[in-house]
Structure 1
Amino acid sequence: MLTLQSVTYAHPNKDVLFSDLTITINKQDKIALVGNNGAGKSTLLNIMAGNLHPLSGTVTASSTPYYVPQIFGQYNHLSIAEALKVDKKLSALHAIMEGDVSPGLYDDLNDDWGIEERCQAALMHWDLAGIDLQQPLQQLSGGQKTKVFLAGIDIHQPEIVLMDEPSNHLDASSRAILYDYIQFAKQTLVVVSHDRVLLQLLNTVCELSKNGITTYGGNYTFYQSQKAIAAEALENDVRSAEKAFRKAKETEREAMERQAKLDARGKKKQEKAGLPTISMNTFRNSAEKSTARMKGVHADKIDNIRQDLQDLRKELPALDTMKMGFDQSQLHKGKILFHATNINFTYNAGKVWKQDLSFILKSGQRVAIKGNNGSGKTTLIKVLLGQLAPTSGQLTRAAFSAIYIDQDYALINNSLTVYQQAQQFNPGALQEHEIKTKLTRFLFLQPDWDKPCSALSGGEKMRLVLCCLTINNKALDMIILDEPTNNLDIQNIEILTAAINEYEGTLIVVSHDQQFLADVGIEEEILL
């Protein structure tokens, strides 16, 4: 069991990230922890793991949780054995086997005589057979590092497992192993993920937001249905508030017109009666006060409705405001862009692809490039972009414009501010206020304009790239996306999906995210 009671966490600068969170996770629960970028999911997971301490509140666990991190930089100076916290046991085992009978070695080993075999079996299970436990972690790829920490689950057999975006760097075969583990695991699981296939395997969804933590007693499909019901109710509330606002303005106008007529009629009566000037002034002052009181009553009512409407609109999803504004490709659909016949590329280690590649790419196609880590996907992208020429085979390449959006969003210059970055893509046609209007539509409000791009999250960088392409307003014949969903939360994946589905040119996607590939209408694949 894992319990959080009234947990509040504040950044070192005293800004509160979340407050008064209370949740109880029971034995063998499988929890999906979801929420937008910046909500504090990874922070909350680290608090559960004991890596961070809350400002207030308590965290209690029936046993020490095992934590699979999303970011590995802090472990790069360690060996694999050290990162897995088995180095002392392995050293003790080897020393004892060599004849050293020091009591401290037996204490370190703690009767775990099968530790080495268990490590090797765990690494083999996660497709890391033959890897040296003394190898520095920094020599491994992102996917291999993830699998090392996943192998630690098999090694330590914890009761509680916490995982932060575990499928991020995994290829299709490794994801299949992960999905299989999650489906049949007997441990208590808390998983932060945007992988919608993985989320379906978890039986409870907990959403972290500015309003706290909300539990939905079902898998991700159930959560989506509940969110859809809430979204529809919110839209109805917005429409009702808009109607009430219009009605209040109309009522105010009618009341003021009616009062003006009454005042004019009363004035005429007073003039006909020949009242003295002092009486006329008294009447006029009384009429003005009455009008002012009426105007104040209506103004207060309208201001209250306006504020309610603004608050409701802030809760609406942002998808509708983000429209890709660049010109569509002028190439006719079906025009042959690439015709590759038995192509390959050779590095010092030999050919990149075991089998030569032959394929045709036509304008308007939506194609996925698939393959395990190390299968040569990046090399093929460089060939498609014209940055590399095949060392064998024949390739015919037509003239066209293309943009490559990698998972690190290298189009973004981290030394610039958000506004300066947007200005880099302005061909001179837009004025400052127009650029800032477009930034606002992509959720970059005034406080964000001077923020350095280096401080942006993956989702924010993706939105800034889309905004920059809109500002540039340049016809693109091809967009190439390389693992576009790796660093995005679900809201930003939906934003990217909506933007890409507006695009009518050629789309090439490298991704292990099957749901995303389906959502953007991938029709064909090149399998490496």
Structure 2
Amino acid sequence: MSEALVRVSHLCFSWPDGTTVLADVSFALGPSSTGLVALNGAGKSTLLKLLAGRLTASSGTIDIRGKLAWLPQHLPLATSSTVADVLEVTPVLLALDAISAGKGTPEHFDIVDGDWNVRERVYAILDRLGLGHVALERPLSTLSGGQVMSLGLASCLMQRPDILLLDEPTNHLDTSSRERLYRVLNEWKGCLIVASHDRELLRTTEHIAELSRGDLRWFGAGYDAYRDTVSTEQNAFAGQVQNLRSEVRREKRDKQDARERAERRAGNAARSLPDAGLSRLAAGLRKRHAQVSAGKADELHEHRLASMQSRLADAASELESLPSLDFTLPATRVPARRVLFACENMQVCHGERALFGDNGLTMSIRGPERIALSGDNGSGKTTLLRIMAGERSADAGVVRVAQGGVTYLSQRLELADTTRTVAQCLADYAPGMPAQERANLLARLHFRGDRMHLAVAGLSGGERLRVVLACVLHAEVAPQFLLLDEPTNNLDLAGISQLGEALRAFEGAMVVVSHDAAFLATIGVTRRCVLGSPGERAQSLGHKR
């Protein structure tokens, strides 16, 4: 292996409440690509923050050789910033403009510092990520979530790092943007560590590191080999658990049978004593001997049973440590003829650009339809959902929005006050739900005991998504019309499957933005609405499955 760029020795980290995230973790990585996988809340983001120097370890050392760039899961970007600001090239571009205009000063030359082709370098990177058409002066507020994520990666690449840490980089990206990202990362030759639940992205990495119960396990043959290994292990442990449960039941039966036999022998002996001609002393000794023998046999069975139960507990702990998530939705039904949304020649303008093409968007949604809303990043998917939710108005056209029962889950997982606890947030949204029922609901989403009193601001992306889902789906007014913007972002693979099954059973209407084809197939899409790329005509496709 070439010289390590990242070397971690005996790393430990725990949260102030005592929750252990990492326990004596050590590894070394050179130029290579590693996919970091774990259940939601296990600590993937925490590990990346430790490597990036954003958190301090409880103990152990982290040695970084070279320049490091980190793309967090949630980009802390001000909407007033421009593309150039995010790429940190605004001062250089202004200095170059001043020099080109003949107004350069020594300070301008110091700012440029030999980076004369910075504009060409910027657009080369932006073009590779599908952002070549985006002006450097453009405000972030006019970009989609996917475009902002791609811009964040571009900012990392502009730093020319030796080490690249990416936290769920395909969140919000459309299919073409994901494919571009895969190509860029395949061509990159440094040390890459990417935390993701995107199976296709994980398949591009050389190694898989699984974080579980404070420890990292390494797999060197890629994601598919990792899944095969884990599946084989899980099947083996499941078989072991089943066999041990059978042994425990058999040992309990043997113990009971032995006890009953001893009791029968003791009874028979007591009844036969008058005929045996034994003295009272000899009879007493025989009885005590029988009792001692029965006690020893009972102890032997107890010892065997305790040993089996211990082995059973160990084997069971190797299986999935958490039960399945329960995303059960309220029982709602939408009449087939009810109009939930309708628009005619609807238009939204971003500056001089018409978002929905030359003729605007015309569509309607009636009854319990399940619509997959798709289109390139920046084509207006989130804007359309916000109009359907009544959060913003169209600039032109006729729009009719349903009143009441509309629930919108945004990409940004917004809650009014993230300093409040999980339990407090659910109480805010569902004040009429009894406290015990709220506690039971949170327990089904893995917020039990003290965990329901954690502040939302400190949760992982997947944990926060579960809280937001609980709040918006169980709000005081039961949802009849769900608007879901990339609902599988941040969820682990098991959680995606369980959410899909819950939505499949939902009897209301929904519009879903998702680039996960398997998830869309699970929920039972009945219609697809495709929004064209910027400048193209939007179209609504009403083909039933």
TM over 0.5: yes
1:6-405 matched pairs, under 5 angstroms: 6-11=9-14, 13=16, 16-27=20-31, 29-52=32-55, 54-61=57-64, 63-73=66-76, 84=87, 98=103, 100-101=105-106, 111-126=114-129, 127=131, 131-132=135-136, 143-210=146-213, 212-273=215-276, 275=278, 277-317=280-320, 321-323=324-326, 325-326=328-329, 328-330=331-333, 337-338=339-340, 340=342, 342-344=344-346, 353-354=356-357, 355-361=359-365, 363-385=367-389, 402-405=406-409
Change (3 A) 1:94 1:469: closer
Distance 1:82 1:415 in 2: 29
Post-superposition shift, 1:8? 0.9
Count of matched residue positions in the alignment of Structure 1 and Structure 2: 521
Match for 1:482: what amino acid? D
Change (3 A) 1:437 1:399: closer
Match for 1:167: what amino acid? T
CA contact (8 A) 2:259 2:298 kept: yes
Distance 1:474 1:300 in 2: 56
Residue range with higher mean Cα deviation, 395-404 or 283-292: 395-404
Distance 1:510 1:125 in 2: 24
Match for 1:527: what amino acid? V
Which sections of structure 2, spanning at least 5 residues, go unmatched? 532-545
Distance 2:387 2:77 in 1: 35
CA contact (8 A) 1:4 1:21 kept: no
CA contact (8 A) 1:343 1:358 kept: yes
Post-superposition shift, 1:190? 1.8
Post-superposition shift, 1:475? 7.9
Distance 1:198 1:465 in 2: 26
Match for 1:524: what amino acid? R
Post-superposition shift, 1:180? 2.6
State whether structure 2 residue 507 is matched by structure 1 residue 480. Answer: no
Distance 2:212 2:67 in 1: 26
Distance 1:285 1:109 in 2: 99
Residue range with higher mean Cα deviation, 245-254 or 391-400: 391-400
Post-superposition shift, 1:394? 6.2
Post-superposition shift, 1:374? 4.8
Post-superposition shift, 1:396? 7.5
CA contact (8 A) 2:327 2:445 kept: no
Residue range with higher mean Cα deviation, 121-130 or 507-516: 121-130
Normalised to the residue count of structure 2, the TM-score between the two structures is 0.77
Change (3 A) 1:271 1:110: farther
Root mean square deviation of aligned Cα: 4.4
Q: Deviations over 1:137-193 (max 9, x none)?
A: 899775454334322355343343222222224445543432231233333322112
Change (3 A) 1:252 1:421: farther
Change (3 A) 1:247 1:293: same
Distance 1:340 1:454 in 2: 37
Match for 1:152: what amino acid? S
Change (3 A) 1:212 1:181: same
Out of 469, 475, 489, the residue aligned to residue 492 of structure 2 is 489
Post-superposition shift, 1:236? 1.3
Is the partner of 2:21 in helix, strand or coil?
A: strand
Distance 1:247 1:470 in 2: 46
Is the partner of 1:73 in helix, strand or coil?
A: coil
CA contact (8 A) 1:6 1:56 kept: no
Q: Deviations over 1:63-112 (max 9, x none)?
A: 3233223333388999876765657766776787755458x966x75544
Post-superposition shift, 1:125? 4.5
Counterpart for residue 540 of structure 2: none
Distance 2:360 2:79 in 1: 36
Residue range with higher mean Cα deviation, 74-83 or 368-377: 74-83
Post-superposition shift, 1:509? 0.7
Post-superposition shift, 1:402? 5.0
Post-superposition shift, 1:484? 0.9
Post-superposition shift, 1:205? 1.9
Match for 1:213: what amino acid? L
Change (3 A) 1:467 1:17: same
Change (3 A) 1:474 1:298: farther
CA contact (8 A) 1:238 1:309 kept: yes
Is the partner of 2:150 in helix, strand or coil?
A: helix
Change (3 A) 1:399 1:447: closer
Normalised to the residue count of structure 1, the TM-score between the two structures is 0.79
Distance 2:176 2:379 in 1: 13
Change (3 A) 1:35 1:527: same
Distance 1:411 1:262 in 2: 71
Match for 1:353: what amino acid? F
The sequence identity of aligned pairs, in percent, is 30
Counterpart for residue 446 of structure 2: 443
Change (3 A) 1:469 1:234: farther
Which sections of structure 1, spanning at least 5 residues, go unmatched? none
Post-superposition shift, 1:427? 6.0
Post-superposition shift, 1:379? 4.5
Post-superposition shift, 1:2? 3.0
Residue range with higher mean Cα deviation, 17-26 or 142-151: 142-151
Residue range with higher mean Cα deviation, 249-258 or 511-520: 511-520
Counterpart for residue 406 of structure 1: 410
Q: Deviations over 1:410-450 (max 9, x none)?
A: 5797576545666664866x783x66555444323333344
Change (3 A) 1:196 1:438: same
Post-superposition shift, 1:209? 1.5
Residue range with higher mean Cα deviation, 238-247 or 197-206: 197-206
Q: Deviations over 1:312-356 (max 9, x none)?
A: 444444787445555655557x65645746241567969753333
Distance 1:483 1:224 in 2: 25
Distance 2:322 2:446 in 1: 10
Distance 2:10 2:145 in 1: 32
Post-superposition shift, 1:470? 9.2
Match for 1:483: what amino acid? E
